[in-house]
Each structure stands twice: as C-alpha cells, then as structure tokens.
Structure 1
Amino acid sequence: MDIQAIALTGVLALAALLVASLFASKAWLAWLEVRKLELARGGPTSDEPTAPVSGNRIELADLRERVRKLEAIAAGIDL
C-alpha cells in the first residue's frame, strides 16, 4: 500500500466517525427534548406502559425482602 491509500483510508474513517457522532448527538438532543416535554407535562406519555400502584407496592416489598436477606447473608446469619 502506498501512503496515499493509507491517508485516504484515514480521512474516510475520520469522516465516517464525524457523521456517526453528529447523528448520535442529534438523537441525544431529541431524546432530551422529549424528556423535557414529559416533565413539563407531568409524567410519561400515555402510550408508555405504567404499572399499577398496587404492583409497585408488591415490587417494593419484594425488593425490601431481598435486601433483608442479603443483609443477613452479609452478617453471617443463616435464615
């Protein structure tokens, strides 16, 4: 390979990286704008699934039980 081919490959790779970075930046800013609108509106959009309040309580109780068991294991207590 000659030096021109290597330089051209490097320039093309750099250009591709620039295009990908610009695309990712635009996508990130658009996502942040959606989240800002959700916060201003007061919650998630209606098409997003939400768990019922009782489901949240059950999940929270389950997590507390797991933490209690892990703390007991860390303390060396056999349940």
Structure 2
Amino acid sequence: MAIVTPDLTAAAVALLALTIVSLAGLRGWRDWIQLKREEMNSGHAALAHDPGVPHAGSRIEIADLKERLRKLEAIAAGVDL
C-alpha cells in the first residue's frame, strides 16, 4: 500500500492548479483571437479608423519624433539642453 506524503499531495495540488490556470488562459487566448477574427471579417476594425483623420497614437508618435528631432538638432548645433 502506498503512503501519500504531504509533499506529494502539495505537488499534485500545485500541478492541478497550474493545469487549470493554463487551460483558462488558453481558452481566453482562443476567445480573444476569435473576437479579433470576427472584428476583421465584419469590417469594424477597418471602420474604426478613418483614413482622413490620423489616429491619436500616430499623432503622439509624430509629436514624439518631432521632439526627438529638435533635441538632436540642438545637440548637433552644440546647444546645451
């Protein structure tokens, strides 16, 4: 007859918990991918961004690039910021 030790029990519980968390994460990932596929197929992703109006993130990136360019020009000119 096998004797189950507390260490073996703890390891089994930890493995079971890891399995449950992994399966839940995998299910969430698959559902998220399916949601993105449905958005792409329905056209909502394409309609969310009007090509005539820049996206807020791209405006921020452009402003950031302009600021970096200004700093690099100042460095090249020898001006101490």
Compute the TM-score of the two structures, normalised by the length of structure 1: 0.65
The letter for the 1-side match of 2:41 is A
The CA distance in 2 between the partners of 1:19 and 1:55, in whole Å, is 39
Matches within 5 A, 1:1-79: 4-44=5-45, 53=53, 56=56, 58-70=59-71, 72=72, 76-77=75-76, 78=79
The letter for the 2-side match of 1:62 is A
The letter for the 1-side match of 2:11 is G
CA separation of 1:76/1:29 partners in 2, compared to 1, >3 Å: closer, same or farther? same
The letter for the 2-side match of 1:76 is I
RMSD: 3.4
Structure 1's unaligned 5+ residue stretches are none
Greater alpha carbon shift after TM alignment, 21-30 vs 33-42: 33-42
Structure 2's unaligned 5+ residue stretches are none
Percent sequence identity is: 18
Deviations 1:22-56 (A, max 9, x none): 00000000000011111112233x9x8x7992664
Q: Radius of gyration: which is bigger?
A: 2
Aligned residues, how many?
72
The letter for the 2-side match of 1:65 is K
